[in-house]
A = this chain, B = another copy of it.
Amino acid sequence: MRDYNSELSKKTGMPPGTLIHVGDKRVEEPKLTLVEYNGDNLEVHVSQDIDIIKDLEFAEDRKIWINVDGLHQTELIESLGKLFGVHPIVLEDILNTNQRPKTESYEDYIYVTIRTLFYERLENTVNSDQISIILGNNFILSFQEMETDLFKKIRQRMERPAGIIRKRGVDYLTYSLIDSIVDNYYLLLEDIGEEIERLEDELINEPSPATLQNIHELKREMIILRRSLWPLRETIASLQRDESGLIKESTDIYLRDLYDHSIQVIETVETYREMLSGMLDLYLSTVSNRMNEVMKVLTIIATIFIPLTFIAGIYGMNFEYMPELKWEWGYPAVMIFMATMAVIMLYYFKKKTWL
C-alpha cells in the first residue's frame, strides 16, 4: 500500500495536459514493440526508438499493435500521441499511473485503463501497475511501466496462423489483453485465499499476536484491492455499451464473459474481506476465552490457599495464652480442618464448572 498516492502532488498547480510521469522508472530504456498483422502475415519489430513507427504505412488490410514498456521518457509518449491524434489529457492519464480503471470514448479512439495486480505473500501486500490501452480504428497502443509475461503470451498466441486472434479485429485483441489481465486476478485471489486458509488454521490451532497482525494486514490489503477492482466492472460495461463502431458486435459475447469475470473477482474480494473481519472478531473472542481460563486458575489457587495460609498464620502467632497450641491433637485437628476447607472449595468450583 505504501506510496499509493505519494506522487500525485508532483502535478499540483500545473495546467492540464502537462506530461509528467507519476510513477516508477522500472526499466532503463523504454521498449517499443510494433506488431503488424492480419490473417496471413505477422511482423514484429522491437526498438527503443520511435523512428520505426514514423515510417509506418497505414493500410486497410493490416492491423497494428504498438506496445510501450517504460513510461519515463515523456517525449516518446508525446510523439506517439501526436502521431495517432491522442488528446494530451489522455496522455497525461497514461503517465499518471494512479488512475482509477475506466473507459473513455473519444471521437476516433477508446481509452481504457486497468491495473495489473501482484501479491507479495511474504509481506502480505498487493502491488499494482497501470496498463493503458488506446483502441483506434485499425490500431492499438498499449502502455505500461514494465514488460509483463501477460502480453508476451498474447504475442505467442498471435504467432500461430490459425489463431482466432489474428483473424479478428483490434477490438478482439483489446479484449484479449484485458482478459489476460483479469485471468491473472484469479491467480492472485487463489494465493490470497490460500493465505486466508492458512491463517484460519493458525487462528484455531495456535493463535499468536503475529496471526492477528497478519489478518489485519491482509484485511487492509483487501480494502485497497477493492479500489482497483470495483471500477473494473464499470470499465468493461462501458466497453460493452460503446457505440462508436470501434467494437464489433461479434466481440460483445466475449465482453459479456469478461463482465461475468469482473463480478466474480469483486465478489471474491468482498467475501475475503468479510471472512477476515470474522477472523478478527474470532481472535478477540479467543483471547477473552484464554484470559478467562488464566483467571480461573489464579482464582482457584488463590481462593483455596489464601484462607488456609491465614489459618496457619493464626497458629504462627506468638501469644502466650493460646490454649490450642498446648493441645495434643491441636496440630492434626487444624490439618484436618484445612483439608476439609480445601475439599469444600474444590466442590464449589466443580459446581461452578470452573474445573
List, in ascending order, chain B residues with CB within 8 A of A253's CB: 87, 89
List, in ascending order, chain B residues with CB within 8 A of A59's CB: none
Is A183 within 8 A of B302, CB to CB?
no
Copies in the complex: 5
Chain B residue, CB-CB nearest to A289: B209
* Cβ distance A143 to chain B, nearest Cβ, rounded Å: 17
List, in ascending order, chain B residues with CB within 8 A of A213's CB: 204
Is B306 within 8 A of A15, CB to CB?
no
List, in ascending order, chain B residues with CB within 8 A of A180's CB: 12-13
* Cβ distance A283 to chain B, nearest Cβ, rounded Å: 6
Give the distance in Å from the alpha carbon of A330 to the alpha carbon of B257 in the complex.
86
List, in ascending order, chain B residues with CB within 8 A of A209's CB: 286, 289
Give the distance in Å from the alpha carbon of A315 to the alpha carbon of B150 in the complex.
79
Give the distance in Å from the alpha carbon of A309 to the alpha carbon of B302 in the complex.
11
Chain B residue, CB-CB nearest to A154: B13
Is A271 within 8 A of B312, CB to CB?
no
A83 at the interface (CB under 8 A from B): no
Give the distance in Å from the alpha carbon of A257 to the alpha carbon of B291 in the complex.
52
A102 at the interface (CB under 8 A from B): yes
Chain B residue, CB-CB nearest to A150: B13
Per DSSP, chain A at the interface is: helix
Q: Which of A43-51, A133-141, A292-300 contacts B (4 or more CB under 8 A)?
A: A292-300
Is A216 within 8 A of B267, CB to CB?
no
Is A288 within 8 A of B285, CB to CB?
no
Per-residue CB proximity of A1-34 to B under 8 Å, as 1/0?
A: 0101110110111011100000000000000000
A280 at the interface (CB under 8 A from B): yes
A85 at the interface (CB under 8 A from B): no
List, in ascending order, chain B residues with CB within 8 A of A121's CB: none
Is B295 within 8 A of A288, CB to CB?
no
Is A330 within 8 A of B319, CB to CB?
yes
* Cβ distance A129 to chain B, nearest Cβ, rounded Å: 17
List, in ascending order, chain B residues with CB within 8 A of A307's CB: 301, 305
Is A193 within 8 A of B264, CB to CB?
no
List, in ascending order, chain B residues with CB within 8 A of A335's CB: 314
List, in ascending order, chain B residues with CB within 8 A of A283's CB: 285
Chain B residue, CB-CB nearest to A213: B204
Beyond A13-B180, A165-B15, A212-B289, is A271–B306 a contact (Cβ under 8 Å)?
no
List, in ascending order, chain B residues with CB within 8 A of A353's CB: 206
A108 at the interface (CB under 8 A from B): no
Residue among B296, B301, B302, B312 making CB contact with A313, cutoff 8 Å: B312
List, in ascending order, chain B residues with CB within 8 A of A254's CB: 16, 89
A334 at the interface (CB under 8 A from B): yes
List, in ascending order, chain B residues with CB within 8 A of A282's CB: 212, 216
10 other A-B residue contacts (CB within 8 Å) besides A8-B186, A301-B307: A11-B183, A16-B257, A98-B264, A204-B213, A209-B286, A220-B275, A294-B295, A302-B302, A318-B322, A321-B331
